[in-house]
Chain A
């Protein structure tokens, strides 16, 4: 901490001397701005194309902004697939998994970090080892197991595995719980507080930052998941947004206006959330890697 603040202080020193802006800085900013704009360009292209009539999409050279704005693509998209339903399905699955898996993995992490029980270390190693297992290896048996449980084509097939098992979540939260000083908990335990009370009233509130990070990570993964829903869901009414767009693409593949409208509908919610909460999301991404 102290070295960090010292470094910050040191890096700010020259600024007080007010140096003139160097041409190198201008080139740097121009280059970065150009590259960042190029990275964002496919999204802008998607959005503007969704408002272009089809003949304008095929025009050469292409137009950037639509010359004749149309919302026909969105009308076709909403008529061709139930995106409202898909939005609800995606949200329902992603939110449930995020809430439940944060709770279960933090509970398990607490046991690994704070309770001394036989087999703790080997069991934790098992959790770590499963992080290496590719999803494709377990998806076939899971498909069969879901069939036995009667969960095929229900949200449960996606919610249950992700809610009840997250080796990464357990690992990440264990690292953070281990970093919390023991003294407070020991005092509380001497006062007769149960482990459950210590966990809910002392540990959980101190984990707000890593929980937010893990929550963002989990939500993004679930909301954008394609592989799991593709295998487990069959009927349109249960489809999540990625599945709906993929299906829509199969039916309206040549109608680029409508396809880009559908894609915009799916990409927009997260892009808007990201634009508003950039700091938290970026910190979340950085944090989830920093302890690994």
Chain B
């Protein structure tokens, strides 16, 4: 910006050929920009915009990957809406999100509050919380396959020893989605903890001291000072974690392979099965589009609602 104004200023100072100088400079700039942008531009077109257009085309086509695609109109979409298994998968996905997102956000926030007061030991405790974040979801799911197996699970053994009936996590239809949520919370907690701790650290101590001088209780300080001041972090995490939880797939695939029962299937699992097992590219693309629209809608709602509760410090 300021470079541009400087050029314009110098062009004004020398009245002779100002236009040409600017335009030559501009052309040089455009070429330089193209050179710097070219690798990512190629990627944008070949691996993003192109595939997006292609996916839109597929959503309105019948195609199994061989031969010619035929125009399908809206039939891929009506097929999805009439399929009870898809409805069940959509409900499962929402149920997972309802359990996982608040679960991980509230625990991460609380732990971040406590960790703040832990001084030097923070680094030690944080090791335990963040280790699952850097671990591959496949390794995580394999570990939990063990921990959820009623024959060998130490969790079940511990529950039984204190007299609580141990659930059959991955076999009992009522427990499958909550089990996924447990794994997702365990793996996602560390990331949000780090984010919340960074957010809390940026709050000036003066605000809390002022609140204390005004005689605020700890609860009032938390609710009226801390929460509003880290509301941008809360918004960012709620947007990204809802998007992430709507796309849950890895755990289910490792737990159940390609034969997950209806009670365990989620939308992305359906997309993968439809596309790469049944080679129904049309319906799979249509479902992926619906997922995209829902994510856009949910994010849009959050952005619209932020004015009412998100507080940005100047």
Contact = CB atoms under 8 A, between A and B. Distances in A.
**Which of A7, A127, A136, A195 has the most chain B CB atoms inside 10 A of its CB?**
A136
Contact of A140 (B26, B48, B49, B275): B275
Given A46-B143, A107-B37, A140 B195 contact: no
Nearest to A242: B138
A161 B1 CA distance: 32
Nearest to B271: A136
Contact of A108 (B29, B40, B197, B299): B40
Given A32-B125, A133-B48, A144 B143 contact: no
Interface magnitude class on chain B: 35 or more
Interface in A247-292: 249-250, 256, 259-260, 262-263, 266-267, 270-271, 273-275, 278-279, 281-282, 285-286, 289-290, 292
B43 interface: yes
Interface in B165-214: 186, 189-191, 194-195, 197-198, 204-206
A245 B44 CA distance: 32
Contacts of A144: 54, 65, 281
A8 to B, nearest CB: 9
Contacts of B205: 7, 10-11
A161 B43 contact: yes
A248 to B, nearest CB: 9
Given A3-B204, A140-B58, A186-B3, A42 B40 contact: no
Nearest to A260: B146
Interface of B: 1-4, 6, 26, 29-30, 32-34, 36-37, 39-44, 46-52, 54-55, 58, 65, 111, 114-115, 117-118, 121, 123-139, 142-147, 151-152, 154, 157, 161, 186, 189-191, 194-195, 197-198, 204-206, 233, 236, 243, 246-247, 249-250, 253-254, 257, 268, 271-272, 275-276, 281, 284-285, 288-289, 291-292, 295-296, 299
Interface of A: 3, 7, 10-11, 25, 28-29, 31-33, 35-40, 42-43, 45-46, 49, 57-58, 60-62, 103-105, 107-108, 110-112, 114-118, 120, 123, 126-127, 130, 132-145, 160-161, 163-167, 170, 182, 186, 195, 199, 220, 223-224, 226-227, 230-231, 241-243, 245-246, 249-250, 256, 259-260, 262-263, 266-267, 270-271, 273-275, 278-279, 281-282, 285-286, 289-290, 292
| 9 tightest Cβ-Cβ pairs between the two chains A and B | A164-B43, A165-B43, A36-B128, A141-B54, A141-B51, A224-B136, A242-B138, A111-B36, A108-B40
